[in-house]
Chain A
Amino acid sequence: MNYLDNLIFAILLTLGVGFFVKNIKKISRNIRLGKDINRTDNKNARLKNMMMIALGQSKMVKRPIAGILHIVVYIGFIIINIEVIEIIIDGLFGTHRVLRVLGGFYGFLIGAFEILAFLVLVSVSIFWIRRMVLKIPRFWNKEMKGFPKNDALYILYFEMILMSLFLVMNATDVPFQQINSGNPISQFLVPFFENFNVITLFYIERAAWWLHIIGILIFLNYLYYSKHLHILLAFPNTYFANLHPKGQLDNLEAVTNEVKLMMDPTVDPFAAPPEGEENTIPAKFGASDVTDLNWVQLLNAYTCTECGRCTSACPANQTGKELSPRAIMMKTRDRLEEVGANIDKNGKFIADGKELLNDYITPQELWACTTCNACVEECPVSIDPLSIIIDMRRYLVMEQSAAPTELNGMMTNIENNGAPWQYNQMDRLNWKND
Chain B
Amino acid sequence: MNVPTMSEMMAQGKQPEVLFWVGCAGSFDDRAKKITKAFVKILNKAQVSFAVLGTEESCTGDPAKRAGNEFLFQMQAMTNIEVLNAYEIKKIVTACPHCFNTLKNEYPKLGGNYEVLHHTELIKSLIDEGKLTIEGGKYKGEKITFHDPCYLGRANDVYEAPRELIKKLEVELVEMKRCKSNGLCCGAGGAQMFKEPEKGTMDINVMRTNDAIKVQPTIIATGCPFCNTMMTDGVKATNKEDSIKVLDIAELIANTDDL
Interface residues in chain A, defined as those with a beta carbon under 8 Å from any beta carbon in chain B: 244-249, 251-252, 255-256, 258-260, 262-263, 285-286, 313, 315-316, 318-323, 364, 367-374, 376-377, 390, 392-398, 403-404, 406-407, 409-411, 414-415, 418-421, 423, 425-432, 434
Contact = CB atoms under 8 A, between A and B. Distances in A.
Given A255-B71, A403-B69, A410-B195, 16 more contacts: A246-B156, A251-B70, A251-B109, A255-B70, A316-B204, A319-B207, A320-B199, A320-B202, A374-B154, A377-B181, A394-B70, A414-B64, A420-B59, A425-B55, A428-B54, A431-B37
Given A248-B101, A373-B154, A414-B63, A316 B69 contact: no
A245 B105 contact: yes
B192 A370 contact: yes
A255 B74 contact: yes
Given A246-B155, A286-B68, A374-B185, A259 B74 contact: yes
Interface stretch (B22-30, B139-147, B167-175, B213-221): B22-30
Given A321-B198, A393-B67, A423 B28 contact: yes
B16 interface: no
A390 B37 contact: no
Contacts of A406: 194-196
Contacts of A396: 68
A36 B238 CA distance: 49
Contacts of B150: 247, 370-374
A252 B106 CA distance: 11
B192 A364 contact: no
B17 interface: no
Contacts of A410: 63-64, 67, 191, 194-195
B255 interface: no
Interface size, B (range): 35 or more
Contacts of A260: 78
Contacts of A249: 65-66, 106
Interface in B4-61: 5, 22, 24, 26-29, 33, 36-37, 52, 54-55, 57-59, 61
B137 interface: no
B239 interface: no
B106 A248 contact: yes
A420 B24 CA distance: 7
A251 B194 CA distance: 22
B198 A428 contact: no
Contacts of B61: 414
A367 B195 contact: yes
A392 to B, nearest CB: 8
Contacts of A418: 24, 57-59, 76
Contacts of B184: 315, 318, 374
A147 B8 CA distance: 67
19 contacts: A245-B157, A318-B184, A318-B204, A318-B207, A319-B197, A322-B198, A372-B189, A376-B154, A377-B182, A403-B69, A407-B191, A411-B64, A411-B69, A423-B27, A427-B28, A429-B5, A429-B27, A430-B27, A432-B3
A99 to B, nearest CB: 46
Contact of A370 (B33, B109, B189): B189
B234 interface: no
A118 to B, nearest CB: 34
Of residues B68, B104, B157, B191, which shows the largest number of chain A Cβ atoms within 10 Å of its Cβ? B68
B27 A398 contact: no
Contact of A320 (B69, B78, B195, B200): B200
B151 to A, nearest CB: 5
B195 A398 contact: no
A419 B27 contact: yes
Contact of B105 (A244, A372, A415, A428): A244
Contacts of B66: 249, 371, 390, 393
